[in-house]
Structure 1
Amino acid sequence: MEINLVLALFAGLILGLSAFSSLLQQASLPGPVLALAFGVLIGPHALGLLRVEDFGVPTGTLLEQAARITLGVGLAGVAMRLPHGYWRANARWIVVIIGVGMALMLVVATGVLWGLLGVPFLLALLLGAIITPTDPVVTTPVVTGSLAEQRIPERVRHNLSAESGINDGLGYLFVMLPVLLLTKPGEAWQELLTKVLLWEVLGAGLFGAVVGYLLGKLFVVVRSRGFMEESSYLGFLVPFGLFVLGAGKLLGTDAVLAVFVAAAVFGQVIPQWEEEQEDKVDDVVNRFFLLPIFVLIGLVLPWSAWAQLGWGPPVVLLAAVLVRRLVTLWALRPLLKGVHDRPETFFLSWFGPIGVSALFYATLAERHTGHHEVFVYTTMAITASVLVHGLSTAPVSAWLARQEPQRKQYEETAA
């Protein structure tokens, strides 16, 4: 592999997106959409400048680890931008959308896939579990930036960010159920409850909370005593996420969940950052650390396998991605009336994109089960979601902004 070619292509894309970021945002062309298209363009099915095989690492391993590292950095950024006191003030949203919403989204997605895709139930359940979590990486361009601040209420941005962070880590529990049923049917439930739930999931939460608290206290001490010169937490953000990701995996826990919990606790312990500073950090992290994974996805899209499937599966997969979110949010609306009005509920029910987390769980599931069709179907769903949700960001957020008079009336009634 020619490393200079990789540097020129990947860095060139980031330079271009940085130079025209405001224009692209207004045109509803977020980074993930363009990075995915760029990967297809330079890949073997277009210009042929680069192939994923050129990296010298097995494709599944490369994608799984790249997705895991991207999630580690992305989740740290998502959790740290939530304001002080967020979790207590928004407990109802978190309990409802995570405690009930994830299970309902899994049921809806599995039902659509099993009924319309023509695959066995356990495969439909596995695919449904993979696409259930809202992706924090794809969600980030929706809720950050000047356009999002102007058009989307703060509570909507924060609630979508928090949900995408938590359900992304908890998605591991959902994915491992069908994986175990496919690979160890006789021991599946026992292993799910003991090893997966008690150690990997709950252990990850405990580990993340302790590490986040201790590092938060350390950060406060070194800042107050003048031991650290950085005025931004960018110097902490990336190594923080990667440290917890690596340490959590060494302990055998769900390290993705551990990162989010650690960053969430850390963000509540350290002093509240100014919004302008947070935006600058988010902007740097989004472009430099999160976009390359979509270029990789564009390089590996299985076009020949998709062609053999025909037009039916893309429609079914997109329907599963959209319907699982729309049905869930509106079914739970009676429990969330005091949290979001109807326009906000529609916005939240529409923006449930999938992306990096789905890629991570798909490669993990394929490694455990050997079912390559999981990767084929998941990449198709990711591509459809990135395009549909990405291209609709500007018009739907503009529609939400036009509902401001109705929102004010709702708030006055609720008060």
Structure 2
Amino acid sequence: MTINLVLTLFAGAVLVLSAFSTLAQRVSLPGPVLALLFGALIGPYAFGVLSIEDFGVPQGTLLEEASRITLAIGLTGVALRLPHGYWRKNLRWIAVIILLGMIAMLVAATGVLWALLGVPFLLALLLGAIITPTDPVVTTPIVTGSLAEERIPERVRHNLSAESGLNDGLGYLFVMLPVLLLTKPGQAWHEMLVKVLLWEVLGAMLFGVIAGFALAKLFVWSKNVGLMEESSYLGFFVPFGLLLLGAGKLLGTDAILAVFVGAAVFGQVIPERDEEQEDKIDDAVARFFLLPVFILLGLALPIGEWAALGWIPPVALAAAVLLRRIITLWALRPLITSLHDVPETTFLSWFGPVGISALFYATLAEGHTGNHEIFIYVTLAITLSVLIHGLSTAPLSAWLKRREPERKQEHETG
């Protein structure tokens, strides 16, 4: 009975959201917002139709694995959206937003949380690390679809996508430092260098490059000799992300990073003529694979525990989510002046949403530390971010579009 109820509710919600996706975007209610609200409504704090316990799997395990699989599918789509030659042409943006930006966002988020939340420094550092990466799943509705293509410049969409994909995988490095300091203080730095950095992170990147290149060559060869039908595209790309996720984990590496690196290499090796087909596949995958995890999260929201927190934690978490991004982008503004003008920087400084990657790292960190506060705080941060960034997508993208004539004039006179 439960499986049929789950299929009815989840598939029905995705079907309705897909049918009205354009309308939802135009009224600034993107899929993740509606899916999260739907999950909360059918959950134990509202109508009580379904609960997370009905799945028969421990909550932490269910959410960690669901978010991990969702990230693999989402990151594959993000990487394949980027045009040929993107990485070579945009080294400055990647270097600034990843090498400097992630550190700055970690410092800003940790500082805000430590000052306002009243938790120990290492917990503030861990929470700051979890919310540092820009989430690729929540970012997808912002930068894809007809509304985004109409209003948001291509370079903004591509740069936000690339950042959300790469920093999501590298977020593991930031999260594991406070986790190790909390659980193995005497061995933390040694394990951080030897196990986490050298093997799990750099090993994931090497594995991703090799696997992505090999699978791209297989894809091209199979197409050229007529062994693969056009209908097999979806049958290739979805298993691609899941294969790298599973194999990367079996090798003991940061599998999330391996997926993105592998997909990025894959996307640059296959012919450019396949990009239009990739976009169609990514759109279908986004609807069928990315929305259900928000319904699942809605079911698991610890609303009763949030209510016991008072008003300060929501304010502190919202401030950390927003200010980490605003402070960082404007502090780094002199380094990206030639890449993005003031309106584009304003847009990019606002949209650094927190979502499924934070859920994954929160469940991972809670499993290592046994601290349930992590889950309570991070799910509240995710909910606030999904609502704030989701509801502001349409008005801010419209504002950016209205500034286009002025920006063109500035470029011409400049």
TM-score by length of 2: 0.98
CA contact 1:144–1:279 (8 Å) conserved in 2: no
Q: What residue in structure 1 maps to residue 411 of structure 2?
A: 411
Quick one: which amino acid aligns to residue 138 of structure 1? V
Letter in 2 for 1:83: P
Q: Output one character per residue of 1:123-146: Cα deviation in whole Å (capped at 9) or x when no partner.
A: 000000000000000000000000
Determine the C-alpha separation between the residues in 2 that align with 1:273 and 1:199: 36
Gaps of 5+ in 1: none
Match of 2:235 in 1: 235
1:372 aligns with 2:352: no
Alignment-mate amino acid for residue 376 of structure 1: I
Is 1:143 the counterpart of 2:143? The answer is yes
Post-superposition CA distance 1:221-274 (Å, at most 9, x none) = 011111101257322221000000000000000000000000000000001146
In the other structure, the counterpart of 1:77 is: 77
The aligned residue for residue 60 of structure 1 is 60
- Contact 1:245–1:255 (8 Å) recurs in 2: yes
Q: What's the counterpart of residue 13 of structure 1?
A: 13
Paired letter, 1:130: I
User: How far has the Cα of 1:170 moved from its partner?
Assistant: 0.1
The structural deviation recorded for 1:282 is: 2.2
Partner of 1:313: 313
Which residue identity is paired with 1:199? W
1:264 aligned residue: 264
Q: How do residues 75-154 of structure 1 correspond to structure 2 at under 5 angstroms?
A: 75-154=75-154
Quickly say closer, same or farther: Cα 1:150–1:264, change in 2 above 3 A: same
1:353 alignment partner in structure 2: 353
Residue of structure 2 in register with 1:194 after alignment = 194
Cα distance in 2 for residues equivalent to 1:232 and 1:400: 38
What letter is aligned with 2:313?
A: P
Which residue of structure 1 aligns with residue 294 of structure 2? 294
The one-letter amino acid paired with 1:349 is S
- Please name the residue that 1:223 is paired with: 223
DSSP-derived class of the 2:272 partner: coil
Displacement of 1:410: 4.0
**SS of corresponding position for 1:353:** coil
Distance 1:80 1:407 in 2: 29
The question of whether the paired residues in 2 share the 8 Å contact of 1:341 and 1:410 is answered with no
Q: Helix, strand or coil: the match of 2:308? A: helix
- Please give the secondary structure, in 2, of the residue aligned with 1:309: coil
Deviations 1:324-354 (A, max 9, x none): 0000000001000110000000000000000
Q: How many residues align?
A: 414
Question: Which one-letter code corresponds to 1:50 in the other structure?
Answer: L
CA contact (8 A) 1:64 1:363 kept: yes
Residue type at the aligned position of 1:149: E
Given residue 323 of structure 1, which amino acid in structure 2 is its aligned partner? L
Compared CA separation, residues 244 and 168, structure 1 to 2 (3 A): same
Secondary structure, aligned partner of 1:305? helix
Q: Give the corresponding residue for 1:341.
A: 341
Deviation at 1:306, TM superposition (A): 0.6
Contact map agreement 1:84 1:268 (CA 8 A) in 2: yes
Q: Judge conservation of contact 1:109–1:324 (CA < 8 Å) in 2.
A: yes
The 1:24/1:200 distance shift into structure 2, 3 A limit, reads same
Contact 1:78/1:161 (8 A) holds in 2: yes
Are 1:22 and 2:22 matched, yes or no?
yes
Distance in 1 (CA, whole Å) between partners of 2:234 and 2:241 is 11
Normalised by the length of structure 1, the TM-score is 0.98
Q: Given residue 310 of structure 2, which amino acid in structure 1 is its aligned partner?
A: G
Q: In 2 relative to 1, CA 176–101 (structure 1 residues): closer, same or farther, beyond 3 Å?
A: same
Instruction: Describe the SS at the equivalent of 1:132.
Output: coil
Q: Give the Cα–Cα distance (whole angstroms) in 2 for the partners of residues 262 and 43 of structure 1.
A: 37
CA shift, 1:18, in A, is 1.2
State the SS of the aligned residue for 2:190.
helix
2:378 partner amino acid: T
**Cα distance in 2 between the residues matched to 1:189 and 1:276:** 46
Q: Take 1:330 and 1:226, find their aligned partners in 2: how far apart are those partners? A: 51
Shift of 1:411: 3.5
Report the CA distance between 1:283 and its aligned residue: 1.8
Q: Aligned partners of 1:283, 1:13: CA distance in 2, in Å?
A: 17
- The secondary structure found in structure 2 opposite 1:119 is coil
In the alignment, the residues of structure 1 paired with residue 321 and residue 309 of structure 2 have an alpha-carbon distance, to the nearest angstrom, of: 18
**Is 1:176 the counterpart of 2:183 in the alignment?**
no
Instruction: State the match for 2:247 in structure 1.
Output: 247
Deviation at 1:275, TM superposition (A): 5.7
| 2:318 counterpart of 1:330 | no
SS at match of 1:46: coil
Alpha-carbon separation, structure 2, partners of 1:245 and 1:150: 34
CA distance in 2, matches of 1:347, 1:339: 13
Equivalence for 1:158: 158
| Displacement of 1:214 | 0.4
1:232–1:277: 8 Å Cα contact kept in structure 2? Answer: no
Deviation at residue 277 of structure 1 after TM alignment: 3.1
Q: Give distance in 2, aligned partners of 1:290 and 1:413.
A: 44
State the alpha-carbon separation in 2 of the partners of residues 236 and 337 from structure 1: 40
Is the 1:138–1:386 Cα contact (8 Å) retained in structure 2? Answer: yes
Distance 1:413 1:64, change over 3 A: farther
Residue 185 of structure 2: SS of its match in structure 1? coil
Q: Deviations over 1:87-115 (max 9, x none)?
A: 00000000000000000000000000000
Moved more, 382-391 or 44-53: 44-53
d(CA) in 2 for partners of 1:231 and 1:42?
36
After superposition, give the CA deviation of every residue in 1:367-406 in whole Å (9 maximum; x if it has no partner): 0001100000000000000000000000000000011113
Q: 1:211 to 1:274 in 2, by over 3 A?
A: closer
Code of the aligned partner of 1:30: P
